[in-house]
Structure 1
Amino acid sequence: MLARAALSLRLRTADLRDRVTGRADALVPPRRLEHIGHSDFVATGDEFARHFVALGGLRPSDRVLDVGCGIGRMARPLTALLGPDGSYDGFDIDPSGVDWCREHYAAFPRFRFQAVDVANPRYNPGGALAAHAFRFPYEDGAFDFVLLTSVFTHLLPGDVDHYLAEIARVLAPGGRLFATFFLLDDEARALVAAGRSSLAFRLDARSDGLPPGDENHAVVDPEIPEEAVAFATAWVGAALARHGLREAGRHPGSWCGRAAFTSYQDILCAERPH
């Protein structure tokens, strides 16, 4: 209780400092709402906006779906990238973040936000819907560009597989997927085993009853496996193919201690063929 009160006081003090120094603007939420993710809100959003264009092929006319939109970290820079023919929809399991976005994006009628009550032991333990059974609240082929940042890193294999099926369903032919992962290729496994990774994935143990020797995924915390989840690249590739998605680019992250990287998490791009 005392720790929570101290954190609240620090964040509110930071909010006051932001107003004095000019950091605050209509689409940057108060720091006390930034409870998911620890990177700088503006810098991270701007970084990924560049990646959406350069790596994912985002176009001004695209209909964009942001899975796990949070408090608008990715929505804010997209207000400048999407043109009058483009649109943005985002959903998230945090209703307070969605409410904040609905209020502050009122001047952008083509930006829409929904709260969904999907269960996640880390972020929404009391959620009514299981992730592996959740149907995205959109029609088939409704989007040209689907993005997920720091979502698959908190889902287990069955949930990821289901989300990929839903992504394939809501993508129009020729549509593109942009997603971040912790991907376990040979280099990442070696760096994790050598203790170079910022996340201590348990490569020699499973947390969910999978048989010994299964190498599809690894977690950091067996008590709360969704805290951080890494996937074998071969498993991800097979899951994409299973749902009719074709990999279109893989860009390594620094999380495991690589010397050359694009961002912190690995970035994977895919497309739904025409």
Structure 2
Amino acid sequence: MVMINRIARKLGNLTYGTVESIFRIYEHSNLSRAPGLADIPKYKKRQGGLGTTTYGEWCYTVGLFQGILKLALPAERPLKILDVGCGVGRLYLAARPSMNEEDHYTGLDLSKRCIDICKSTYKEDNATFVYYSTNNSYYKSKEANNLQPWPLEDNSFNMVTALSVWTHLREEDWVFYLSEVKRVLSPGGKAVISFFVLDKDYDAALPRKTDEISPYYPQQKNKWIFDKGAYGSKNWLCPAWVSVPEVAIGVREHAFLDAIEKAGLRISRFHSGSWKDQPALFFQDIVELEHKLD
């Protein structure tokens, strides 16, 4: 049965990739108001990433974050962006329309394959891609579990982005890498991060989280109930269905706010996500952070 499922998956991927390639030939000749979509990597390369692979969701995410990042741009130029967990470049395509010749983007990822794909796909002088080796029980379980600082200098970026990275971090890692955001972010800079916050909107949504398909995302509502402690934590929780906690981890609001405070950061803007079965900009919660004022 395992072999049959594997073969079926490969055939499905081959079919999807072929159909998409044909579609995109005609699609791109008609694009007129969507910068960057023509540069979305081909399906085979997107499979090298650790998250979303479908062309439609890439288009949605790139377009949405073009606007979100534009609103969060720091006043100081040149723009120096660090994209943590860059995958195969979704947020690079989102950030690129806001960048000029003096600006620079650095993508950081724990997948050597992702970094290699980015280097071969995006050849612009304003982009650098850095491999960072670390452990994650879901994505990279064989690496040594050592919390190592990013190979980046203090105060070297005025924008940090991370799309669904803290979603896959246990409590210790979550807190440590938040302090790394503070370390590399220059005063006046902004950090834009998405994950799951278990706040009052989540609590209000719990009675609605049945096995019905949500009108806000194409999954059952009760898939996104965080009721199991991640490695025994009281404040970092995961759904009961996950194979390992790092598949999806949410943090209770008071613990989230406490971690932000201890890291020396503060919230400048917060967008609650549609995973709480409500109208929203994006599926996950999006938080914009900056240095805490003294």
Q: TM-score per shorter chain, which class?
A: 0.7 to 0.9
CA apart distance, 1:76: 1.3
User: Which residue in 2 is equivalent to 1:251?
Assistant: 271
Q: Which runs of 5+ in 2 are unaligned?
A: 1-5, 30-36, 211-220
User: Which residue in 2 is equivalent to 1:234?
Assistant: 254
CA contact (8 A) 2:209 2:225 kept: no
CA apart distance, 1:172: 0.9
Please tell me whether residue 206 in structure 1 is matched to residue 239 in structure 2: no
Please tell me whether residue 30 in structure 1 is matched to residue 45 in structure 2: no
Partner SS for 1:182 = strand
Corresponding residue to 2:13 among 8, 26, 29: 8
TM-score by length of 1: 0.87
Partner SS for 1:208 = helix
Q: 1:119 to 1:162 in 2, by over 3 A?
A: same
Between Structure 1 and Structure 2, the one with more helix by share is 2
Partner SS for 1:268 = strand
User: Which residue in 2 is equivalent to 1:166?
Assistant: 180
Q: 1:192 to 1:3 in 2, by over 3 A?
A: farther
CA contact (8 A) 2:195 2:285 kept: yes
Corresponding residue to 1:110 among 117, 126, 129: 126
Deviation larger for 243-252 or 96-105:
96-105
Cα displacement string for residues 78-114 of structure 1 (whole angstroms, at most 9, x for unaligned residues): 22211122110011122222212112221x1120011
User: Which residue in 2 is equivalent to 1:219?
Assistant: 238
Partner SS for 1:199 = helix
CA apart distance, 1:16: 2.9
CA distance in 2, matches of 1:146, 1:165: 12
Amino acid at match of 2:25: V
Q: 1:140 to 1:154 in 2, by over 3 A?
A: same
User: Which residue in 1 is equivalent to 2:34?
Assistant: none
Amino acid at match of 2:232: G
Q: 1:229 to 1:246 in 2, by over 3 A?
A: same
TM-score by length of 2: 0.82
CA distance in 2, matches of 1:224, 1:15: 32
Tell me how many residue pairs correspond in the alignment: 264
CA RMSD of superposed structures (Å): 2.2
Deviation larger for 23-32 or 36-45:
23-32
CA distance in 2, matches of 1:143, 1:171: 5
CA contact (8 A) 2:62 2:93 kept: yes
Cα displacement string for residues 52-85 of structure 1 (whole angstroms, at most 9, x for unaligned residues): 122x235663100000001110101322211122
User: Which residue in 2 is equivalent to 1:183?
Assistant: 197
CA contact (8 A) 2:152 2:184 kept: yes
Q: 1:134 to 1:26 in 2, by over 3 A?
A: farther
CA apart distance, 1:125: 2.4
Q: 1:26 to 1:200 in 2, by over 3 A?
A: closer
CA distance in 2, matches of 1:142, 1:209: 36
Partner SS for 2:68 = helix
CA apart distance, 1:119: 2.1
User: Which residue in 2 is equivalent to 1:69?
Assistant: 86
Partner SS for 2:232 = coil
Q: 1:76 to 1:207 in 2, by over 3 A?
A: closer
CA apart distance, 1:175: 1.5
CA distance in 2, matches of 1:207, 1:104: 36
CA apart distance, 1:159: 0.8
CA apart distance, 1:269: 0.9
Cα displacement string for residues 186-207 of structure 1 (whole angstroms, at most 9, x for unaligned residues): 221231353154633232x324
Amino acid at match of 2:62: G
User: Which residue in 1 is equivalent to 2:215?
Assistant: none
CA apart distance, 1:23: 4.2
Amino acid at match of 2:52: G
Q: 1:154 to 1:61 in 2, by over 3 A?
A: same
